[in-house]
């Protein structure tokens, strides 16, 4: 035998043995389970993960209280390594969004491509506007509608944020001491939108979040100021007129609904269709959007305290907490588990401590 062949005879069995040893080690790890690092959703179990060194170093140089560029995304990636970037609103390239193109509303926009094209060709604007888009560091706050906002005088703190996000018909006028007066955008769907035209605040973006195909038709009629002809198919009355110019209207990237539902919260996939308990609340969708698009994220007015059934559910009406019904669409408790992770990991700041 040639020496080279001899060597092969020795090396091959060694490689095979090595491989077996290696894979049994893997198997061993898998079967006997060293401590798992991740939970079922893919979040690190250890939520107080440190920032990457370069960022920690960079932030160390910032003055006390300054906005930290890239903070939310870096923290999120640290506890959820699968995190990927996603833009806030749909733009003319929306058909390239691989993750949403194959899902029907609310998790994507399949079947609605044509109507979205028509809407986007009228709105012609796909960002927050030149001033906010050019900020090196954006601080965003999502103002939830919870009664927990009442009598805390957080209004001036809320107004300090660069981007103030409000949801549905939550009023500002009459409540500014507690909820602030600035509204950068209002995220809403047909049934949730403000119905009285005079109640719309000036200088805010009307951000549309679709839950069903019909919602896109409604939006087209609002954008083109057409008379709303078909009203059946909505689960309650809807706004018939939105006093906003097309340039002040945006379509929220449906990816945030999909990601919040299936990845972050772990709601039932239901073959990618809307089903029992698999729709995240608009508040959590807005937080998901902010995690991808803001450098720092805060929330206020989130969280229901079921131990105080007589406390008000919303800050703007006297309906009591006890009125909240078992929801068919949402899974509040599972959603709260996700939001608690964000608070524990210091990714979001909860001004009202309700999460
Ligand atoms: C932080 O400040 C120090 C001292 O001024 C400087 O040498 C260093 O380059 C700065 N680091 C970063 C990441 O800006
Ligand atoms: C807030 O204060 C007002 C006036 O003092 C009071 O009537 C109301 O009940 C308070 N709301 C809550 C939720 O404590
Ligand atoms: C919420 O999720 C929990 C745990 O998966 C489940 O037991 C419960 O039935 C769900 N609730 C709703 C309303 O779907």
Specify whether the CB–CB gap between 285 and 105 falls below 8 A: no
Q: How far is the centre of ligand 3, averaged over its atoms, from the C-alpha of 277 (Å)?
A: 7
Tokens of 185: 């955008």
The residues lining ligand 3, judged by C-beta closer than 6 Å to any ligand atom, are 276-277, 331, 334
Q: Can you give the pTM of this predicted structure?
A: 0.89
Burial class (CB in 10 A: 0-12, 13-18, 19+), 59: middle
Crossing angle for the helix pair 71-79 and 282-293, nearest 10 degrees?
A: 110
pLDDT of residue 257: 98
What's the CA-to-centroid distance between 59 and ligand 1, angstroms?
10
- Residue whose Cα lies nearest atom 3 of ligand 1: it is 61
Q: How far is CA 176 from the centre of its chain?
A: 25
- Can you tell me the distance from the alpha carbon of 247 to that of 48, in angstroms, rounded to the nearest whole number? 42
Ligand 3: centre distance to CA 296 (Å): 31
Q: Is the beta carbon of 58 within 6 A of some atom in ligand 1?
A: yes
Which pLDDT value is given to residue 221? 95
Q: Is any atom of ligand 1 closer than 6 Å to the C-beta of 63?
A: no
Q: Which atom of ligand 2 is nearest to the CA of 147?
A: 13
* pLDDT attached to residue 298: 98
Tell me, in angstroms, the distance from the centre of ligand 3 to residue 211's CA.
20
- The answer to whether 186 and 163 are in contact (CB under 8 A) is no
Q: Whose CA is nearest to atom 1 of ligand 2?
A: 151
- DSSP 8-state code for residue 48: -
pLDDT of residue 1: 54
Query: Residue 238 and residue 211: Cα distance in Å, rounded?
Result: 14
pLDDT, residue 238, reads 94
pLDDT at site 278: 96
Residues of the chain with pLDDT under 50: 17-18, 20, 24-31
Q: Are 106 and 208 in contact (CB under 8 A)?
A: no
Amino acid 23: pLDDT: 52
């Amino acid at each position: 035998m040639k020496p080279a062949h001899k060597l092969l005879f020795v090396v091959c069995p060694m490689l095979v043995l090595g491989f077996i040893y290696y894979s049994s080690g893997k198997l061993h790890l898998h079967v006997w389970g060293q401590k798992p690092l991740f939970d079922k959703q893919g979040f690190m179990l250890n939520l107080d993960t440190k920032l990457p060194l370069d960022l920690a170093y960079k932030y160390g140089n910032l003055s006390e209280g300054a906005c930290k560029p890239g903070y939310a995304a870096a923290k999120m990636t640290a506890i959820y390594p699968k995190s990927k970037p996603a833009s806030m609103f749909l733009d003319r390239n929306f058909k390239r969004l691989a993750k949403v193109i194959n899902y029907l509303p609310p998790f994507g926009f399949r079947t609605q491509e044509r109507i979205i094209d028509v809407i986007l060709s009228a709105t012609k604007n796909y960002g927050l506007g030149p001033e906010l888009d050019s900020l090196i560091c954006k601080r965003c706050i999502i103002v939830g509608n919870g009664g927990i906002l009442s009598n805390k005088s957080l209004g001036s703190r809320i107004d300090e944020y660069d981007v103030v996000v409000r949801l549905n018909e939550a009023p500002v006028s009459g409540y500014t001491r507690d909820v602030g007066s600035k509204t950068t955008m209002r995220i809403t769907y047909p049934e949730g939108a403000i119905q009285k035209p005079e109640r719309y605040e000036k200088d805010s973006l009307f951000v549309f979040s679709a839950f069903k195909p019909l919602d896109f038709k409604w939006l087209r009629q609002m954008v083109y100021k057409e008379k709303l002809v078909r009203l059946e198919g909505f689960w309650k009355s809807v706004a018939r007129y939105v006093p906003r110019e097309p340039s002040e209207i945006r379509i929220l990237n449906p990816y945030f609904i999909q990601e919040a539902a299936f990845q972050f919260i772990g709601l039932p996939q239901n073959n990618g269709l809307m089903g029992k308990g698999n729709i995240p609340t608009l508040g959590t969708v807005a937080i998901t959007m902010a995690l991808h698009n803001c450098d720092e994220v805060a929330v206020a007015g989130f969280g229901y305290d079921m131990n105080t059934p007589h406390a008000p559910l919303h800050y703007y009406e006297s309906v009591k907490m006890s009125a909240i019904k078992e929801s068919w669409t949402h899974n509040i408790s599972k959603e709260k588990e996700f939001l608690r992770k964000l608070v524990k990991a210091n990714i979001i700041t909860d001004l009202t401590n309700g999460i």
